């Protein structure tokens, strides 16, 4: 059998992160694309999360090996590998959270939108299965272009009659992770205490970090510093793509960011109060139907989409210039889902 489950000894991790693995509720998490560059380290990080009781690793190839490997880590969750479309249903059944890093990554010279033709179809297939096998799961969409794949997912779910706007998330956490790292470096403050909201979307200029709201406040940053930090955050993915020189895009930092976001979703589901992360969700805080902003997470997914707060003039300008591109990426996703 391809299933490789293993039960961890509960006594070994009773006091992890203030939770007892016995009191934390059962939660099944699936990673779709689990044998990939993001999928493998993300599978490992989810295996380390004591809030997970079942971890399903799905891909079109390679998951039996990844699952066997990860399953030997002595933490709470039981790991199972699923390979090929005929096992997708089993992977999804009973899931609380489905994380999707399936699809092709960028190579130098490519934009995220260049991935559209391949990844749109993959996302459509996977979301069709989610609607069938775990319609109530929270979906964490990592596959690019996120600005289009999230609207595609929404349309697929609407057609299936399972759409719940509180349960669909585009993962933009890596933009936040980068903004925090770059800000801490420039402002010379300890990175652990830094918070920076990032709003808009997840591609180029649609990524809008709000450094005017960054904490702790830094009084040593000039307007030019803020412009440079903004550009570096927007181009952070491309920085990695170029450094990897044809071998793909961010995988390790993305796995970290994906694990942070999934952990926030799990905490929200478990009733932890005041869990807030930025995410690309259905939104009415601007005229666009989907928009990334701070979101409060709860037992049903999105508890509240938080507003943008006060913006600097530079950020207001950035907001206006990102809208046309984000709007057309959203429309492209909706059109794809409805024509094919």
The residues that touch ligand NAI, with contacts defined as CB under 6 A, are 32-33, 35-39, 59-61, 101-106, 115, 119, 122, 125-126, 142-144, 146, 171, 174, 202, 248-251, 254
Q: How far is the CB of 8 from ligand NAI (least distance, A)?
A: 26
With CB atoms as reference, the residue minimizing the distance to ligand NAI is 36
106 in a labelled binding site: yes
17 assigned to a ligand binding site: no
Cβ proximity to ligand NAI, 92 vs 102, nearer residue: 102
Nearest approach, Cβ of 36 to ligand NAI (angstroms)?
A: 2
Q: Is 117 known to sit in a ligand binding site? A: no
Q: Is 338 annotated as a binding residue?
A: no
- Whole-number minimum distance, CB 149 to ligand NAI, in Å? 8
Comparing CB distances to ligand NAI, the nearer of 38 and 326 is 38
Catalytic, 136? Answer: no
- As measured in angstroms, the least distance from the Cβ of 2 to ligand NAI is 15
**Shortest Å, Cβ 258 to ligand NAI:** 8
Of 43 and 194, the one with the shorter C-beta distance to ligand NAI is 43
Please identify, using beta-carbon distances, which residue of 102 and 153 lies nearer to ligand NAI.
102
Per residue, the 3-state secondary structure of the chain, as one string, reads: CCCCCCCCCHHHHCCHHHCCCCCCCCCEEEEECCCCCCHHHHHHHHHCCCCCCEEEEEECCCHHHHHHHHHCCCCCCEEEEEECHHHHHHHHCCCCEEEECCCCCCCCCCCHHHHHHHHHHHHHHHHHHHHHHCCCCEEEECCCCHHHHHHHHHHHHHHHCCCCHHHEEECCHHHHHHHHHHHHHHHCCCHHHCECCEEECCCHHHEEECHHHCECCCCCCCHHHHHHHHHHHHCHHHHHHHHHCCCCCCCHHHHHHHHHHHHHHHHHHCCCCCEEEEEEEECCCCCCCEEEEEEEEECCEEEEECCCCCCCHHHHHHHHHHHHHHHHHHHHHHHHHHHC
Q: Of 72, 136, 202, 310, which residue is the catalytic one?
A: 202
Q: For residue 33, say whether it is annotated as part of any ligand binding site.
A: yes
Known binding residues are 33-39, 59, 106, 112, 119, 142-144, 178, 254
Please report, in range form, the residues annotated as the binding site for substrate: 106, 112, 144, 178
Report, as residue numbers or ranges, the catalytic residues.
202
């Amino acid at each position: 059998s391809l299933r490789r489950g293993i039960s961890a000894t509960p006594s070994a991790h009773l006091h992890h992160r203030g939770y007892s693995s016995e009191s934390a509720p059962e939660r099944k998490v699936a990673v779709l694309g689990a044998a990939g560059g993001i999928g493998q380290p993300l599978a490992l990080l989810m295996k380390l999360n004591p809030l997970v009781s079942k971890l399903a690793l799905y891909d079109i190839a390679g998951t039996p090996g990844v699952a066997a490997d990860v399953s030997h880590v002595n933490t709470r969750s039981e790991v199972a590998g699923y390979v090929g479309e005929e096992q997708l249903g089993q992977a999804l059944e009973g899931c609380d959270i489905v994380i999707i890093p399936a699809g092709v990554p960028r190579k130098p010279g490519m934009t995220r939108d260049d991935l559209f033709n391949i990844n749109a179809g993959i996302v459509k297939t996977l979301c069709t299965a989610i609607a069938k096998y775990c319609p109530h799961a929270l979906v964490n969409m990592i596959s690019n272009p996120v600005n289009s794949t999230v609207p595609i997912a929404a349309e697929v779910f609407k057609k299936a009659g399972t759409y719940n706007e509180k349960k669909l998330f585009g993962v933009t956490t890596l933009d936040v992770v980068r903004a925090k790292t770059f800000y801490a470096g420039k402002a010379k403050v300890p990175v652990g205490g830094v918070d920076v909201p990032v709003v808009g979307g997840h591609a180029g200029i649609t990524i809008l970090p709000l450094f005017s709201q960054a904490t702790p406040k830094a009084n040593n940053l000039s307007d030019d510093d803020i412009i440079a930090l903004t550009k570096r955050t927007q181009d952070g993915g491309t920085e990695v793509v170029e450094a990897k020189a044809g071998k793909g895009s961010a995988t390790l930092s993305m796995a970290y960011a994906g694990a942070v976001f999934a952990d926030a979703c799990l905490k929200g589901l478990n009733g932890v109060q005041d869990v807030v992360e930025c995410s690309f969700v259905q939104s009415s805080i601007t005229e666009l139907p989907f928009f990334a902003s701070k979101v409060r997470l709860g037992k049903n997914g999105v508890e509240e989409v938080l507003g943008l707060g006060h913006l600097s003039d530079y950020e207001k300008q950035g907001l206006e210039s990102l809208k046309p591109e984000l709007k057309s990426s959203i429309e492209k996703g909706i059109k794809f889902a409805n024509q094919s």
